């Protein structure tokens, strides 16, 4: 599940970076295709971030203490 | 839109990279062994910080973050408007709800944080001017100024530069707030939120400031006002004063918050600015704002005549004077508390007068009954009347704030049969019990509470020792009413006598802070509902577009 979360984050970063470039280019070149592409990148960014959040929540709910964050902040009784 | 997406994605890219490269929550634990690092899974974790094990903590941080994140949208629209030179009021109209939603969430988050501090920290108050508390207040203040100031641009085409400056300031303060919370650069009760991401935020703040201010300077010639201020006594002036005062509040709170950093950099000594400084500065500013909350809507656009001033101000001022005299005669001598309640009466009556006048007009012209007239009036202009409900919520908040001046407290050692007196309350120890749960061990004292000899029930403050984190905390017991809260804390055990150390506070009017927050929340929701006029205009636009479409097809 840690791998899923990390993939979600890095994919979100990639989509965000692409969104910046496509948005700026779409505005500058007045290219509707680029603008649509930037908007889809923004949507994909949202989906990937949500995926990472879900991956972390699942680990919290499963008390997966192999994950450093879960081990640092949770115990089954709290 | 393309530049809006680009700006939002640039912000998203920063946060995604920080989360992935610097504070990755998906790091794994490994144990060193002769055969190399092996995956490690401890049997138990460190446990959630005991201070955070409180119900409102489930929604307090998400509310704040919704506020912080939401302000990125109007900022992105403002930057896009600057880039494309489309600097009319389109970007402001488009982002009105996008500004109100984060403003509402941020305000609610701040109040939930206050409720948490009140119920968990055990010092008897809800606002301690802690740097992280201030960090959330700063963008809310700047956002409040922006919400008011955009109305002048919409109505009169003025303050265009000012509006851009305000949204830049608001967004900057949102990032700055996160930076303060997470960097640990100033000591705070929120020390549990610290991490090593501070320097990255500092760089991002620099980039945001450089980019937005440079862009503003490059486009300043496109931001000329379409009108000038006609009179000092006008709605525009009221908004402008409101803006200046809010910005003064931002500066004062910011100065006090970062003073430890500045003093450390300049003198090499960390000088912390405490609550007395903030209270001294913020209370007069808050009272001025409260006055404008009532006076502003009574002023006319462009110019207010003397007759209009007299007509609109007479009743609210008379009501305030009556309340002020009654308070004085009943023994209220604390100047700021008196002034606050005096102004609360002034503002409340000025708002109710607006509802009343509008409803009476509808009654006369449309023959509606009074309640129907109030409903129709509100739904016809939800923005205006929702705003008035928000102002009523602010009045209730100030009623609650004024109560702080009359706080009474006492402290004593108690066991079975011992009594503690505070104001006209008596708290008698019934029993001290100890216990054990899977999460913590605890010691609890049962206190019978009576007021003027009448029994009111029991309070059971306890002191807990959390097993996983090995940390003690006090769990406050509160008996709340509209008039006052009785607030009991079990601070510990006296080592010499073995008796429980009990602190008791009587906090007048605190409930009105939470009620005021709720009314403000409802008012903001109401102001976001599309008004009938808005809906009619949207329908007309749709009909026109459909007509154009048909004629094009023909």
CA trace torsion B381, B383, B388, B390 (10° rounding): 150
Token representation of residue B56: 């409102």
Who among B1, B29, B439 is closest to A78 (CB)? B439
* Contact at CB, B42 and A65, closer than 8 angstroms: yes
Domain ranges in chain A are: 2-73
* Residue ranges of A 52-71 with Cβ closer than 8 A to chain B: 52, 55-56, 63-71
Sheet-wide strand order for B408-414:
B408-414, B500-508, B484-493, B477-480
Q: Shortest CA distance to B414 belongs to which of B499, B342, B483?
A: B499
Chain A residues touching B1 at Cβ < 8 A: 35, 39
Q: What is the mean pLDDT of residues B55-60?
A: 84
* Contact at CB, A16 and B10, closer than 8 angstroms: yes
pLDDT at B550: 46
The residue that leads in pLDDT, B56 or A78, is B56
pLDDT at B325: 97
pLDDT at B552: 44
Element (H or E) spanning B409, and its range?
Answer: strand B408-414
B43 has pLDDT over 90: no
Q: Shortest CA distance to B359 belongs to which of B346, B347, B372, B348?
A: B372
Per-residue pLDDT band for B553 (boundaries 50, 70, 90) equals very low
* Rounded Cα gap, residues B456 and B460, in angstroms: 13
The sign of the CA dihedral B342, B344, B347, B353 is: negative
Element (H or E) spanning B410, and its range?
Answer: strand B408-414
ipTM of the prediction? 0.94
pLDDT at B191: 61
B203 has pLDDT over 90: yes
pLDDT at B28: 84
Who among B2, B7, B439 is closest to A77 (CB)? B439
B306 touches chain A (CB under 8 A): no
Token representation of residue B16: 């995604």
Residue pLDDT, tens place only, B378-434: 999 999 999 999 999 999 999 999 999 999 999 999 988 999 999 999 999 999 999
The residue that leads in pLDDT, B502 or B55, is B502
pLDDT at B551: 44
pLDDT at B305: 81
* Rounded Cα gap, residues B340 and B346, in angstroms: 10
A33 has pLDDT over 60: yes
* Residue ranges of A 15-54 with Cβ closer than 8 A to chain B: 15-24, 26-27, 34-35, 38-39, 41-42, 45, 49, 52
B207 touches chain A (CB under 8 A): no
pLDDT at B539: 79
Per-residue 3-state assignment (H helix, E strand, C coil) for B429-462 = EEEEEEEECCCEEEEEEEEEEEECCEEEEEECCE
Chain B residues touching A11 at Cβ < 8 A: none
Question: How distant, in Å, are the alpha carbons of B111, B269, B287, B308, B523 from that of B388?
Answer: 20, 47, 18, 20, 7
Long-range contacts made by residues B529-538, C-beta under 8 angstroms, separation at least 24? B529/B379, B529/B382, B529/B386, B530/B382, B531/B379, B531/B380, B531/B381, B531/B382, B531/B383, B532/B379, B532/B380, B533/B380, B533/B381
* Contact at CB, B4 and A49, closer than 8 angstroms: no
* Rounded Cα gap, residues B298 and B346, in angstroms: 11
Token representation of residue B190: 């929120």
Per-residue 3-state assignment (H helix, E strand, C coil) for B450-509 = EECCEEEEEECCEEEEECCCCEEEEECEEEECCCEEEEEEEEEECCCCCCEEEEEEEEEC
């Amino acid at each position: 599940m840690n791998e899923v979360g990390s993939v979600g984050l890095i994919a979100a970063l990639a989509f965000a970076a692409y969104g910046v470039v496509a948005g700026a280019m779409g505005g500058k070149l007045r290219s509707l295709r680029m603008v649509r592409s930037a908007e889809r990148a923004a949507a994909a960014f949202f989906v990937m971030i949500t995926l990472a959040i879900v991956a972390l929540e699942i680990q919290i709910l499963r008390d997966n203490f192999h994950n450093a964050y879960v081990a640092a902040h949770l115990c089954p009784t709290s | 839109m393309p530049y809006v997406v680009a700006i939002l994605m640039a912000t998203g890219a920063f946060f995604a990279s920080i989360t992935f490269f610097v504070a990755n929550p998906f790091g794994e634990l490994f144990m060193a062994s002769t055969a190399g690092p092996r995956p490690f899974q401890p049997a138990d974790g460190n446990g959630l910080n005991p201070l955070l094990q409180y119900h409102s903590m489930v929604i307090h941080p998400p509310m704040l973050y919704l506020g912080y994140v939401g302000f990125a949208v109007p900022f992105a629209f403002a930057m896009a408007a600057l880039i494309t030179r489309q600097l009319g009021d389109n970007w402001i109209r488009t982002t009105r709800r996008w500004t109100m939603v984060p403003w509402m969430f941020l305000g609610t988050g701040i109040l939930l944080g206050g409720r948490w501090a009140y119920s968990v920290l055990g010092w008897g108050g809800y606002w301690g001017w802690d740097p992280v508390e201030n960090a959330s207040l700063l963008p809310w203040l700047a956002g409040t100024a922006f919400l008011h100031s955009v109305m002048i641009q919409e109505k009169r085409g003025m303050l265009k530069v000012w509006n851009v400056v305000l949204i830049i300031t608001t967004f900057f303060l949102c990032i700055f707030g996160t930076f303060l919370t997470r960097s640990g650069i100033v000591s705070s009760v929120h020390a549990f939120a610290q991490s090593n991401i501070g320097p990255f935020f500092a760089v991002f703040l620099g980039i945001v400031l450089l980019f937005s201010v440079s862009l503003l300077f490059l486009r300043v010639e496109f931001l000329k006002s379409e009108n000038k201020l006609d009179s000092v006594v006008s709605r525009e002036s009221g908004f402008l004063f409101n803006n200046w005062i809010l910005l003064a509040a931002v500066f004062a709170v910011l100065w006090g918050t970062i003073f430890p950093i500045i003093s450390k950099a300049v003198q090499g000594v960390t000088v912390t600015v405490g609550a007395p400084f903030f209270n001294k500065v913020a209370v007069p500013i808050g009272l001025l704002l409260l006055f404008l909350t009532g006076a502003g809507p009574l002023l006319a656009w462009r110019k207010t005549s003397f007759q209009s001033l007299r007509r609109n101000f007479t009743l609210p001022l008379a009501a305030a004077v009556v309340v002020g005299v009654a308070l004085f005669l009943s023994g209220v001598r604390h100047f700021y508390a008196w002034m606050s309640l005096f102004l609360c009466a002034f503002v409340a009556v000025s708002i109710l007068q607006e509802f009343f006048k509008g409803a009476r007009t509808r009654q006369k012209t449309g023959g509606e009954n009074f309640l129907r007239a109030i409903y129709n009036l509100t739904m016809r202009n939800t923005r205006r009347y929702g705003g008035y409900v928000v102002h009523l919520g602010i009045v209730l908040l100030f009623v609650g704030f004024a109560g702080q001046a009359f706080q009474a407290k006492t402290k004593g050692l108690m066991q079975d049969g011992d009594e503690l007196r505070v104001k006209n309350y008596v708290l008698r120890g019934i029993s001290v019990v100890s216990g054990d749960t899977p999460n913590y061990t605890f010691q609890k004292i049962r206190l019978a509470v009576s007021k003027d000899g009448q029994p009111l029930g029991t309070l059971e403050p306890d002191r807990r020792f959390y097993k996983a984190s090995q940390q003690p905390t006090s769990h406050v017991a509160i008996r709340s009413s509209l008039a006052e809260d009785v607030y009991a804390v079990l601070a510990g055990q006296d080592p010499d006598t073995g008796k429980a150390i009990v602190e008791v506070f009587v906090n007048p009017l605190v409930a009105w802070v939470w009620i005021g927050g709720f009314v403000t929340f409802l008012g903001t929701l109401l102001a976001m509902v599309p008004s009938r006029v808005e809906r009619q205009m949207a329908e007309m636009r749709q009909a026109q577009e459909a007509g154009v479409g048909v004629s094009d097809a023909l």
